[in-house]
Structure 1
């Protein structure tokens, strides 16, 4: 039973809904300060996972190669295009469509939370872990952060934040049911390098959420697919 996956998706759905409903009722100082805290939390978790790295060259190579692929296929631009198309009908349905009207700022924040909720190293690792040994503790801990993060960002982005629960649920459920086939083929070193690359993306996500640097984090995601095979090949033939 994918308890962690279900709870995490509901946390985003409900948190985003209540955040959009409350909107301007949440004090401005809270809406400004908490995203910085969420960014710091994301960076902190990223650092925790980065230090688990086993093979530095393999992780760096996977990140660079994955980012290059993401740039070539314009992955982040594709997500941004979909986000804008989804936001327009939602704005027509709900009067409160968020306080952020600048399209560039909207896209930057929406892509950041999409990655944070659906494609972070914590979420992906948590879904795989739950699918393998029914341990949902990682996703339950993530759900707490996601609930409040979704609520705060929904005050600016509106009800579209709740829609992130859909791709998140699909991704995590796919990983949950694939875990029994994926994890037996991995080694502790491969999992460590996968976790470390996820940590790098989480670190970049935290910097983006905090408004420090707008890393193209969506374009880095193909690296998560490449890192374990590259790690295995590197340790087998080079290291």
Structure 2
């Protein structure tokens, strides 16, 4: 059922937030690192399974036996050029900083703030668990910080589209595990605002799932196979980030998902 992966993701955030509020700040850092590393290995496994779609017989029949690998390669190169020129990774990060400043009413930078005014000093951008903000400010900070972590990432887009295409919910199930564990840590420091971030996750990923349903209704299976194989390689980039091997700008490569079916159609017509 399209959308099931997003519902599981939302449930994991709510459950993780509740557990985090119950545990407080007692979760060891070592445990967080071990679990994150294990999830990174699972991402590699899912990436390999998706990338194996490059061997799909239907794709080979549509474009020739040698073309699928070249299509994926060209999609990543062209998509990477487009994404880097558009600075998608930087724009996503800038959007996150903008939302944080607007909703928490923090200054853009210390240099722009000038000398301290007569009002109370601004909150730091990332409060430590030992000294979290209080009252409404604590709720907003928890909501904004966790929403950015749960939304600003390629796995939210890749997993939701894959779910809509009918390729299964394995990517979103993995994201649910990541988000649920992150929600424990966030909620331990920032409280119930983290649980509220489940609402934008439902809307955001639901929209991309709907996009996947629309694409799957008119894209041939060969085009979907090319898109899935390309997305599998993007997941490798996500895994490398989780494993702290290399921080690749995966968001800059997202246009490759649009390029792959277009190139498949052009090669099939040639």
For this structure pair, what is the TM-score category when the shorter chain's length is used for normalisation?
0.7 to 0.9
Q: Is 2:132 the partner of 1:119?
A: no
SS at match of 1:24: coil
Task: Describe the SS at the equivalent of 1:127.
Answer: helix
Q: Which runs of 5+ in 2 are unaligned?
A: 60-67, 105-126, 128-132
Shift in CA distance, 44/37, structure 1 to aligned 2, threshold 3 Å: same
Q: Take 1:228 and 1:71, find their aligned partners in 2: how far apart are those partners?
A: 20
Q: Tell me by how many angstroms 1:125 deviates.
A: 1.2
Query: Which structure features the higher share of helix residues?
Result: 1
Which segments of 5 or more consecutive residues in structure 1 lack a partner in the other structure?
99-105, 131-137
Greater Rg by CA? 2
Q: Say yes or no: does 1:31 pair with 2:35.
A: no
CA distance in 2, matches of 1:180, 1:67: 25
Q: Match for residue 103 of structure 1?
A: none
Distance 2:196 2:232 in 1: 25
Q: Determine the structure 2 residue equivalent to 1:146.
A: 175
Post-superposition shift, 1:111? 8.6
Give the count of matched residue pairs.
218
Give the Cα–Cα distance (whole angstroms) in 1 for the partners of residues 199 and 89 of structure 2.
18
1:56 to 29, 48, 69: 69
Q: In structure 2, what is the equivalent of residue 202 of structure 1? A: 235
Taking structure 1 as the reference length, the TM-score comes to 0.75
* CA separation of 1:76 and 1:150: change in aligned 2, threshold 3 A: same
Structure 2 residue 218 is matched with structure 1 residue 185: yes
TM-score w.r.t. structure 2 length?
0.67
Measured in 2, the distance between the counterparts of 1:110 and 1:151 equals 11
User: Which SS does the other structure have where 2:153 is aligned?
Assistant: helix
